[in-house]
Amino acid sequence: MKLIFLGPPGAGKGTLADLAVDELKLPHISTGDLFRAAVKDGTPLGLKVKDILASGGLVPDDLTIALVRERLAQPDAARGWILDGFPRTIPQAEALEALEPADKAVNFDVPDNIVVDRLSTRRVCRACGKIYNVKGMPPKKEGVCDVCGGEVYTRDDDKESSIRTRLENYRKQTEPLIAWFGGRGKLVTIDGTGGPAAVLERFRKALGL
């Protein structure tokens, strides 16, 4: 099964993808994670996208498509995948359709006010990437990851000014994908509000799992 997860930043796509991985036994491929790893490692691609990510902007299509093409060619993606954060534009969707068409695009519908609240209170482990929320799911010890003991911090793109930019970019460039996939009979829309368990149950029902 080949799935695309759509929805605004903070819709819970990454959290739900991690839960769906356990059920579907498919790799969760997050372009955001791939880009952040490239930035952390100081690769040529990472150097190109570092400032773009920090400001909340969108990485150019050619760089993103090249990254995804490379990742989908790896052996663990042969049976299928869950793509989170790609495609973000119609040219990216067209490139994916030509490369390896998805079976379904799952759109997690979440209002902007909830997105801003979720992201501005989100914290991430600098070492292992585990996600926390200071309101609903904080680490046991403030600033310290429960899993690896790494530093838990606020990413630059989770600061409110960047969140607003990311939402604006989403409305302009990514939201049209909802109609694009809908026109091809591949769109499934799910209410993304509430806790992960409730959203996962809606996901199961929508896909007939």
Is the per-residue pLDDT at 112 higher than 80?
yes
pLDDT band at 182 (very low <50, low <70, confident <90, very high): very high
Q: What is the CA radius of gyration of the chain?
A: 16
Q: Which of 36, 71, 166, 202 is catalytic?
A: 166
Q: How many domains does the chain have?
A: 1
Q: How far, in Å, CA of 193 to CA of 179, rounded?
A: 21
Q: Which of 104, 155, 159, 186 is catalytic?
A: 155
Give me the mean pLDDT over the 174-201 stretch: 92
Q: Which of 36, 71, 118, 122 is catalytic?
A: 122
Residues pairing with 4 in the sheet: 83, 105
The reply to whether 137 falls in a domain is no
The reply to whether 101 falls in a domain is yes
132-139: long-range pairs with CB below 8 Å, 24+:
136/195
The reply to whether 125 falls in a domain is no
CATH of the domain at 195: 3.40.50.300
**Residue 166 catalytic?**
yes
Residues pairing with 151 in the sheet: 144
**Residue 122 catalytic?**
yes
The reply to whether 122 falls in a domain is no
Least confident of 5-9, 58-62, 147-151: 58-62
Q: Which of 36, 71, 88, 118 is catalytic?
A: 88
Residue-number span of the structural domain to which 87 is assigned: 2-110+164-207
Arithmetic mean of pLDDT over the chain: 89
The reply to whether 147 falls in a domain is no
The reply to whether 124 falls in a domain is no
The reply to whether 90 falls in a domain is yes
The reply to whether 15 falls in a domain is yes
Q: How far, in Å, CA of 148 to CA of 25, rounded?
A: 24
pLDDT band at 64 (very low <50, low <70, confident <90, very high): confident
Q: Which of 13, 71, 118, 202 is catalytic?
A: 13
**Residue 13 catalytic?**
yes
